[in-house]
Amino acid sequence: MKHSLTSAVWISIRPLFKMFVIIVVISAGLLVIDKISGKGSSTRKMFALIQFNDSPLSELSGQGIIDGLTSLGLIRGRDYDLDIKNAQGDIATLNLMMDEAVSDRPEILFISSTPTLQAAVKKISTLPVIFTVVADPLIAGAGSSFEDHLPNVTGISTLGDYEGMIRWVKIILPGAREIGTLFSPGESNSVKNMNELKNFAEKAGLTLIAVPVNSSQEVTDAAFSLASRKPDVICQIVDNLTAASSGSIIRIARDQKIPVFGFVSDQSKAGAVLVVSRDYHQAGADAARLAKRVLDGESPAKIPFEFVSKTNILINPSAAVYFRIHFPKEIYLQENLIITKQDL
């Protein structure tokens, strides 16, 4: 009787036991395949990206890094994990993120913007640091030249094409005498950009009206102040403070019948007549290329800083019509010309 009962129990649970065995075998097989293919978590590399604030520049360069790694055969979620952090413009938070990076020890630390590079220079000495969206890495303390720099740091400079911009101002607006811009005295990259614009403007016989702005709350008032001085054109430089407010700056200038030329691609859709833009997506892709060299065993110390490899010319015909500006034939012959379609 007891034997019959045991047999009956075994017969009832035998299908479940078989299913359990099948699940164990399949799971073991998947683990073996995963290990052989190199997709296991133990072989996945850990990267980090620290950004200073939310801006079109951060978004474009961040996506450029991911796309650049993909083009090199490194797929996010398969070959590497990317931990993206944003300090939202807060220096204390930025420093805390740098401390966390030292503790987490990613194989590559990507950073964007000058304040972020400055924080990395002070806090990180052993991790490989690859920067992008930095106007001048030298004033950020990363080195004395593009070749002679900190041994753990390399990256991509996105210093604007100010000489090219002034050349287009002279061609498109031959009667211009004064140009204007807002700049942030608290940002070394902003001061650098403003001085570069001033230098090339003065060489071309133009006067630069530069209005300082110290916080995001001041941008609107500063834009009105600049517009009230009636420059012939506003050439808005790139910095972290004004980047997120470029649309407001352009609207104020438009209402005052002052055309805006810019240095960031999204300014074109916002109504800038002409934009001479370093390609910030390409800057991220260029940074990914440098990171791959480090992953392949090359020391950052032996990799010189580089300028971003691509610059675009964007024109907004609708904005040009509004300001009665005529583009010369020469501009339509530019290799990296982008025509923005917008109804104003």
Domains and CATH numbers, the chain: 45-158+280-307 (3.40.50.2300), 162-279+311-339 (3.40.50.2300)
**Model pLDDT for residues 238-255, shown as the tens digit of each residue:** 888 888 788 899 999 999
**pLDDT at residue 16 in the model:** 55
- Dist. CA 183–CA 192, nearest whole Å: 10
Q: Which is higher by pLDDT, 256 or 26?
A: 256
**pLDDT at residue 342 in the model:** 65
Instruction: Please determine, for residue 38, whether its predicted confidence score (pLDDT) is greater than 50.
Output: no
Please give the average per-residue pLDDT across 315-338, as a whole number: 94
10 Å CB burial of residue 134 (0-12, 13-18, 19+) is buried
**Model pLDDT for residues 64-102, shown as the tens digit of each residue:** 999 999 999 999 999 999 999 999 989 999 999 999 999
Angle between helices 162-172 and 188-203 (to 10 degrees): 40
pLDDT band at 23 (very low <50, low <70, confident <90, very high): low
Q: With 0.85 as the threshold, say if the pTM is over it.
A: no
